[in-house]
Amino acid sequence: MALKWLEGFDASINTTHLARTYNTMTGTITQAAGASETGGVAITSDDALFTTKPFSSVENTWIIGLAFRSHDDDKINNPDIPYVAMRNGDGEQIRFEFFEELKSKPGGNLYRIRVMRGAVELATSVEGFFIADNSPSLWVFFEFKVTIDNATGEFSGQYQFTQKPSISDVPIALTWDAANTGVDTQNQATTGADRFSLSMITGNSVTEVAVDDIYVCDSTGTKNNDFLGKILIEEQKPLAAGATDEWVLADAATLNEAWDETISEADDDPRVTSQVPTDITLATVDPLVALIAPGTTIIGVRHDIVARMETTGDLDIAHFFRKTTGTPAETDAGTALNVDSTTYEASAAVLEDDPNTLTDWDIADLNSYQYGVRNDG
């Protein structure tokens, strides 16, 4: 398997910014306490629907992990049902719904995981999970694996509580009320998927749900070959200009004001610009001190850029990385955004390995790395 996506919502909870990264973003979102025991940011909504842009290829086997909890009220579907799904260019293939169990139990109502191929219910989890208020103890990290095929399809899942010390902090396999192997999981004429979608829609503004720490893997690689277990995602924001700063700062007082979407300065023009191919601009970033302890396995890094043309034209803007410990080196890691519009476009490079060493990411290196862009012309 290969890591294709990471999303922690720490870098941006603004719907305009998220709409640049995702094909679809509707409604509004608000900030919520994250799934990690030590903090972080999640989003909560009844309206938001995200559909990622297509990944590099259509593949049959996928793994999705995400933290989920009820946020308000005592319902989840009211009447709409939140879900995460895999899709291809023809449409949705299969979805995992967070579906309310209608009967009450001592301590609150329950929701279960329901697997749907179009209008066909394939199975529902035997396990149920409490719906109540927005208590941190209700965060559950779910992982779903699916092979999309009309004859030999299969799916499985597991879960663990992120902030419930009374429960053993190890993944527990989901069990199902119907077969989950040798089944039809293909809802379109063609097999496979190349994107995922997330819906937080419940149908009622007081019946919100919260989501955090998403990862997606496909079957193309060899590194992340199975469920990754509970993950947490920490953001590194820009701090200051790095070793190379050839782009022009439009008006903001500092580079990190221009680059950090969470900083709002009404009198600033938050842009850096370049008219010269090969121009590079880099920034230092926050150290990883809040969530990630020494010895933590880092499954990947996501690097985001947003760019547009000042006038009509066409340029490539490369994701750029500068290693400043050990043997310094700069690389674009083979990633770039083609910009051909005066409307902002976004690109997210997800890297399983350090692009300079081609080995696992190291916390010391991450803390000293500088990130930015290169005008590739």
Please tell me the least confidently modeled range out of 152-156, 238-242, 314-318. 238-242
- Residues linked to residue 2 through DSSP beta bridges, in sequence order: 218
Please give the share of the chain, as a percent, with pLDDT higher than 70. 91
CB 238 within 8 A of CB 99: no
Average pLDDT of span 341-358: 92
- Rg, C-alpha atoms of the chain: 21
Distances (CA, A) of 342 to 54, 288, 309, 338, 339: 22, 35, 5, 12, 8
Q: What is the pLDDT of residue 317?
A: 95
Is 317 domain-assigned? yes
Do 209 and 347 have their domain in common?
Answer: no
What total number of domains does the chain contain?
2
Cis peptide before 328 (omega within 30 of 0): no
Average pLDDT of span 147-155: 97
Do 202 and 259 have their domain in common?
Answer: no
Is 231 domain-assigned? no
Please give the share of the chain, as a percent, with pLDDT higher than 90. 53
Please tell me the least confidently modeled range out of 114-123, 169-178, 214-223, 264-273. 264-273
The one-letter amino acid code at 275 reads Q
Q: What is the CATH number of the domain that holds 193?
A: 2.60.120.560
Q: What is the pLDDT of residue 162?
A: 84
**In terms of pLDDT, which residue wins out, 328 or 184?**
184
The one-letter amino acid code at 279 reads D
Distances (CA, A) of 371 to 31, 126, 243, 285, 324: 26, 46, 10, 8, 11
Q: What is the pLDDT of residue 13?
A: 78
Is 229 domain-assigned? no
Q: 84: closest CA among 236, 220, 213?
A: 213
The rounded distance, in Å, linking the Cα atoms of 44 and 207 is 10
Q: Residue 125 — very low, low, confident or very high, per pLDDT cuts 50/70/90?
A: very high
Fill in the DSSP letter of residue 367.
H
CB 89 within 8 A of CB 54: yes
Is 32 domain-assigned? yes
Do 71 and 173 have their domain in common?
Answer: yes
Do 28 and 157 have their domain in common?
Answer: yes
Average pLDDT of span 319-330: 87
Average pLDDT of span 149-162: 95
Is 76 domain-assigned? yes
CB 265 within 8 A of CB 223: no
The rounded distance, in Å, linking the Cα atoms of 116 and 355 is 38
Angle (CA) 177-178-184 rounded to 5° is 145
Fill in the DSSP letter of residue 368.
H
Is 230 domain-assigned? no
Per-residue tokens: 186: 């293909």
The rounded distance, in Å, linking the Cα atoms of 119 and 93 is 11
In the predicted model, is pLDDT for residue 318 greater than 90?
yes
Q: What is the pLDDT of residue 191?
A: 94
Compute the CA torsion angle 349, 355, 360, 365 (nearest 10 deg). Answer: -100
Strands (E), 222-332: 238-245, 248-249, 272-273, 280-285, 301-307, 315-323, 329-331
Do 320 and 366 have their domain in common?
Answer: yes
Do 18 and 164 have their domain in common?
Answer: yes
DSSP letters spanning 131-178: E-SS-GGG-EEEEEEEE--TTTEEEEEEEEESS-TTS-SS-EE--BSS
Domain boundary among 160, 185, 218: 218
Do 252 and 365 have their domain in common?
Answer: yes
Q: What is the pLDDT of residue 106?
A: 61
Is 227 domain-assigned? no
Do 190 and 74 have their domain in common?
Answer: yes
Average pLDDT of every residue of the chain: 88
Do 133 and 254 have their domain in common?
Answer: no
CB 372 within 8 A of CB 282: yes
Domain housing 265: 238-375
Do 202 and 248 have their domain in common?
Answer: no
In the predicted model, is pLDDT for residue 268 greater than 60?
no
Do 212 and 260 have their domain in common?
Answer: no
The span from the first CA to the last CA of the chain, in angstroms, equals 33
Q: What is the pLDDT of residue 297?
A: 86
Q: Is the torsion defined by CA of 234, 240, 244, 246 positive or negative?
A: positive
Which helix (H) or strand (E) element contains residue 83? strand 83-88
Do 78 and 153 have their domain in common?
Answer: yes
Is 74 domain-assigned? yes
Average pLDDT of span 247-251: 83
